[in-house]
Amino acid sequence: MNTIISKDILSPSIKRYVIKNSKIAAKAEAGQFIILRVHEKGERIPLTIADYDREKGTVAIVFQEVGNTTQKLGEMEVGDKILDFVGPLGVPTTLPQGDNIVCIGGGMGIAPIYPEVKSLYNKGVKVTGVLGARTKDILFFSNEMDKICDKLYIVTDDGSQGRKGFVTDVLRDIIKNDNKIDGVIAVGPLPMMKAVCDITKVHNIPTIVSLNSLMVDGTGMCGGCRVTIGDEVKFACIDGPSFDGLKVDFDEQMRRLKMYKEEEEKVLGCKCGGEC
Amino acid sequence: MPYQDPKKRIKNFDEVSLGYDKDLAIKEAKRCLQCKKPSCVKGCPVGIDIPSFIKEISNDNYKGALEKLKEKNLLPAICGRVCPQEDQCEKLCIVGKKNEPIAIGRLERFVADNQKMTSKLKPGLEGEKVAVVGSGPAGLACASELLQRGYRVTIFEALHKPGGVLMYGIPEFRLPKDVVEQEINQLVDMGVELQTNMVIGQTITLLELLEKGYKAVFIGSGAGLPFFLNIPGENLNGVYSANEFLTRANLMKAYLYPKWETPLRVGKKVVVVGAGNVAMDSARTAMRLGAKEVSIVYRRSEAEMPARKEEIFHAKEEGIEMNLLTNPISIEGDAEGWVNKIRCINMELGDPDESGRRRPKPVKGSEFTIEVDTVIMAIGQGANPVIPRSTKNLNLNDKGNIEVDSETGQTSIEGVFAGGDVVTGAATVIQAMGAGKQCAESIDKYIKNN
Ligand SMILES: Cc1cc2nc3c(=O)[nH]c(=O)nc-3n(C[C@H](O)[C@H](O)[C@H](O)COP(=O)(O)OP(=O)(O)OC[C@H]3O[C@@H](n4cnc5c(N)ncnc54)[C@H](O)[C@@H]3O)c2cc1C
Ligand SMILES: Cc1cc2nc3c(=O)[nH]c(=O)nc-3n(C[C@H](O)[C@H](O)[C@H](O)COP(=O)(O)OP(=O)(O)OC[C@H]3O[C@@H](n4cnc5c(N)ncnc54)[C@H](O)[C@@H]3O)c2cc1C
Ligand code: SF4
Ligand code: SF4
Ligand code: FES
């Protein structure tokens, strides 16, 4: 159990592992995540279930090496076992109703958006995909997404692949040209999700986002993952991580993610290149 | 009993109480009157034969003493340390009427620390299968009792380490984790199967366990859902639930950061809201992690503080200030969103409320501000919702705790039993163990009758 079956290097800092764990594979749904620990003294970190295969009993994770734990994870090889691997955690995303859905994945958010697009595709829903990244080296899954999206747009900040600009530029155009979008799912860095919601709010389009709060247990025990949704405080690990984007207090989330920045940098300079 | 000097101990996580040596233990044991009708036993939720185990100590027979203890309590090293003896066994000790009661807990700890039990038990391979959810004291007690009755028992634990609050909540300096691990390992040696990283309700549901051939299920999932006050500013950076603070410190060993990789940020000035054991543990942990000033903020007076007397005493010795009859009304932060102030109001005690304690009322116009850089909320916790949400027909009471038949511990679902904090709300280690054992008995009856 928890053996790494395959390792794909999607970009120098982004890796995709397929991991054997038939219990999690049997239960996983789009929007859920796992928590792992790579060694006895290690931190528990959450990662989205990027894909699953119930028959083979495997789940996939895609992660970016941004700090200590993700780097140690990145050093592991096929055949190695991940010490602790628990899930599926969180509630599956309630996919938006309707048959014209826009799914936006920004940066690492492309990994979690993939199983959601796949679920919609399997239900016969028409999905417009928008993938964004800083530059083409860190853009992944575009071929896989192309197969399950009705239309797929790609944008990079520097124009190295697809259109130059931000995912919100594309979203604005889609809204302009296609005035009956039933819902939006947006997963990516908090500023991106916030910018998306600023637009969809104006047009009153139901929007689902996925929050990557800091977590410890992932079972509702510590309250470290709390998020404000409308006027209620929720725990991202058991009430989410997907929430109604139009109600999320993004500023609070951005602030809370910085809680351990100093400590993390002391252990290891951040290498994400401005992504976090 | 010898203790580590407060000045030294606030700089380390070593155990505060050093425990009896042989001479002290025998001397204390000899004070016991060996009552024919020992009242102390009535105060012990698991009914340990107290005079008998004490007698073995005075006879220098520690192996015999341990055997006596283990007849009723499989975790004596833990209970000897953390039981609120002053409200239980020792409260009813006859010697205590005029003098200091016999130090039953300390003697219990002495025996457990000085005598390793090699257990002979191995479960039969043909016994029926029972699932135990949660590896806190309730689950452990239930599992061992079932094992002794010949069942094959699997414990499912959500975290990567077993022990529940013993592991993630109660700090090292009060309950060393290797003591907990040793006592749990004995259970595993006896033949309990332990599966960690299994969140029941997520990885597999409760009802699926029954379908998979477990004849009965015991739920001992504890009270792991932290409460907040719902006052403005509680989500500022630097505001923790006690559960998060203590879990980072204990389970993830943040006090050894960066060697252990989980960080925990503690400022110079720390306020802990609440006055139970959890609050004392948080305050004393913060002190050891380098805080300069740590204070408790509590809305009632010292007489109502729910923490054990000994813990309050130790906390004060370690320099923790008590702001009593004080209630927080809001938390404020700086431009970056880090907490920097807590607004409080003075309280006075009015007429008694439902709990029989005098109800605190705010004193008009008495608001004041305390400067802080860390706030820890230790105002209690409710039952964890993961299992109830994923289990149809599992009845809860209005507090969200699982409802059970008070005699058998059976829930609204046949074959599913529950006990410990998930039923009673936050209580004590030994009460949780008592409930676990009681449910094991009911499970035994239930399986035999079906
Ligand atoms: C539900 C959920 C799903 C997630 N899914 C994925 C995923 O599929 N792939 C993936 O690469 N990451 C994902 N994350 C984020 C991932 O958990 C963090 O990147 C990881 O914890 C960093 O650990 P580290 O020790 O390597 O870095 P650290 O040393 O802890 O941090 C390095 C840098 O990353 C930032 N950081 C730390 N935690 C987070 C976080 N939770 N979100 C964003 N930035 C953070 C820090 O501020 C710091 O600048 C998810 C988070 C959550 C809560
Ligand atoms: C900081 C602190 C200090 C305390 N000090 C004292 C003291 O000095 N003396 C005393 O007598 N009592 C003390 N208590 C109270 C005592 O620890 C509890 O009453 C006791 O641990 C309850 O035992 P339990 O087995 O019911 O639950 P817990 O100890 O909470 O154990 C529950 C276990 O179930 C697991 N679990 C939860 N949900 C699931 C799930 N869905 N699937 C699988 N596993 C799950 C949890 O991870 C946990 O390991 C203290 C409590 C705290 C928090
Ligand atoms: S288990 Fe607790 S209550 Fe019972 S005798 Fe020991 S210390 Fe006293
Ligand atoms: S009541 Fe006190 S003196 Fe009597 S048996 Fe119990 S411990 Fe000994
Ligand atoms: S991660 Fe601890 S409650 Fe969500």
The answer to whether the CB of B108 falls within 8 A of the CB of B69 is yes
What is the token pair recorded at B184?
């749990």
Looking up tokens 């860390």 gives B374
Report helix, strand or coil for A226. Answer: strand
Give the confidence band of A269 by pLDDT, cuts at 50, 70, 90.
very low
Residue of B nearest to A254 (CA): B337
pLDDT of residue A275: 45
pLDDT of residue B377: 97
- Nearest by CB to B199, from A43, A83, A86: name it: A86
**Nearest-CA neighbor of B28 among B111, B91, B139?**
B111
pLDDT of residue A272: 44
The answer to whether the CB of A227 falls within 8 A of the CB of B228 is no
What is the token pair recorded at A67?
């700090």
The answer to whether the CB of A208 falls within 8 A of the CB of A94 is yes
Instruction: Work out the minimum CA distance from B237 to partner chain A, whole angstroms.
Output: 6
DSSP states of B168-202: HTS-TTTS-HHHHHHHHHHHHHHT-EEE-S--BTT
Percent of chain A with pLDDT over 70: 95
* A259 vs B contacts (CB less than 8 Å): 237-238, 265
Tell me chain B's radius of gyration from C-alpha atoms: 23
Whether A271 shows a pLDDT value over 60: the answer reads no
The answer to whether the CB of A109 falls within 8 A of the CB of A210 is yes
Mean pLDDT of chain A: 89
pLDDT of residue B36: 93
Task: Say how far apart CA A149 and CA A249 lie, in whole Å.
Answer: 30
Task: Say how far apart CA A173 and CA B347 lie, in whole Å.
Answer: 59
Whether A268 shows a pLDDT value over 70: the answer reads no
Looking up tokens 């479960």 gives B123
Across A80-99, average pLDDT: 92
Neighbours of B128 (CB within 10 A): 19
Peptide bond between residue B352 and the one before it cis (omega within 30 degrees of 0): no
Task: Say how far apart CA A214 and CA A82 lie, in whole Å.
Answer: 21
Which residues does residue B342 pair with via DSSP β-bridges, in sequence order? B331, B370
Q: At what angle do helices B50-58 and B62-72 cross, to 10 degrees?
A: 170
Ligand 1, residues at Cβ distance < 6 Å:
A 33, 43, 45-48, 62-64, 66-70, 108, 111-112, 212-215, 241, 257, 261, 264, 270, 276
What is the token pair recorded at B352?
């008694």
pLDDT of residue A163: 85
pLDDT of residue B311: 92
Peptide bond between residue B306 and the one before it cis (omega within 30 degrees of 0): no
Q: How far is the CA of A87 from the centre of ligand 5 (A)?
A: 13
Residue B164: CB partners within 8 Å, gap ≥ 6?
B134, B135, B136, B137, B138, B139, B220, B222
Mean pLDDT per 10-residue section of chain B, whose length is 450 residues: 88 90 94 95 93 95 92 90 92 93 95 76 73 96 91 96 95 93 86 94 95 95 93 94 96 92 93 96 96 95 90 94 95 93 94 85 94 95 92 91 94 95 92 94 93
Phi, psi of B424 (to 5 degrees): -95, -15
The answer to whether the CB of B400 falls within 8 A of the CB of B49 is no
In A, what residues contact B, Cβ < 8 A?
A: 23-24, 27, 37, 41-44, 68-69, 83-89, 216-224, 226, 228, 233, 238, 252, 255-256, 258-260, 262-264, 266-267
Is A222 part of any known ligand binding site?
Answer: yes
Phi, psi of A90 (to 5 degrees): 80, 170
* B235 vs A contacts (CB less than 8 Å): 226, 228, 233, 252, 256
Q: Is B79 in the pocket of ligand 3 (CB under 6 A)?
A: yes
* A219 vs B contacts (CB less than 8 Å): 158-159, 199, 224, 384, 386
Task: Say how far apart CA A226 and CA A249 lie, in whole Å.
Answer: 11
Ligand 2, residues at Cβ distance < 6 Å:
A 219; B 82-84, 133-139, 156-159, 164-165, 169-170, 198-201, 220-222, 224, 246, 277-278, 281, 308, 384, 386-387, 420-422, 426-430, 432
pLDDT of residue B187: 83
Find the length of chain B. Answer: 450
The order of strands in the sheet holding A33-37 is A45-48, A33-37, A84-89
Which alpha helices (DSSP H) does A157-235 contain, by range?
Answer: 167-177, 190-203
Residue B116 CB-density burial (10 A; 0-12 exposed, 13-18 middle, 19+ buried): exposed
With b for 16 or more beta-carbon neighbours within 10 A and e for fewer, the B265-282 pattern comes to bbbebbbbbbbbbbbbbb
**Nearest-CA neighbor of A211 among A159, A250, A156, A164?**
A250
* A24 vs B contacts (CB less than 8 Å): 203
Residue B185: CB partners within 8 Å, gap ≥ 6?
none
CB-based contact, B203 to chain A, within 8 Å: yes
Is A166 part of any known ligand binding site?
Answer: no
The residue among A175 and A248 whose pLDDT is bigger is A248
CB-based contact, B259 to chain A, within 8 Å: yes
Whether A267 shows a pLDDT value over 60: the answer reads no
Report helix, strand or coil for B35. Answer: coil
Peptide bond between residue B258 and the one before it cis (omega within 30 degrees of 0): yes
ipTM at complex level: 0.92
Q: How far is the CA of B79 from the centre of ligand 3 (A)?
A: 6
Residues of chain A with CATH 3.40.50.80: 100-257
pLDDT of residue B89: 95
pLDDT of residue B281: 97
The answer to whether the CB of B303 falls within 8 A of the CB of B333 is no
Contact B203 A44 (CB under 8 A): no
The model's pLDDT over A158-216, given as tens digits with 9 standing for 90+, comes to 888 888 889 998 898 888 887 688 999 999 999 999 999 999 999 999 999 999 999 99
Give CATH for domain A3-89.
2.40.30.10
Task: Say how far apart CA B411 and CA B218 lie, in whole Å.
Answer: 10
Across A74-91, average pLDDT: 95
Across A39-45, average pLDDT: 94
Whether A234 shows a pLDDT value over 90: the answer reads yes
- Nearest by CB to B199, from A68, A219, A255: name it: A219
State the DSSP code for B396.
B
Instruction: Work out the minimum CA distance from A38 to partner chain B, whole angstroms.
Output: 11
Residue A259: CB partners within 8 Å, gap ≥ 6?
A214, B237, B238, B265
Task: Say how far apart CA B406 and CA B403 lie, in whole Å.
Answer: 9
Residues of chain A with CATH 2.40.30.10: 3-89
CA B150 to chain centroid, in Å, comes to 28
The model's pLDDT over A111-167, given as tens digits with 9 standing for 90+, comes to 889 999 998 998 888 899 999 988 888 888 888 888 888 888 999 988 888 888 899
Task: Say how far apart CA B62 and CA B59 lie, in whole Å.
Answer: 8
Q: How far is the CA of A236 from the centre of ligand 5 (A)?
A: 7
Amino acid at B220: G
Give CATH for domain A100-257.
3.40.50.80
Q: What is the pTM of this model?
A: 0.93
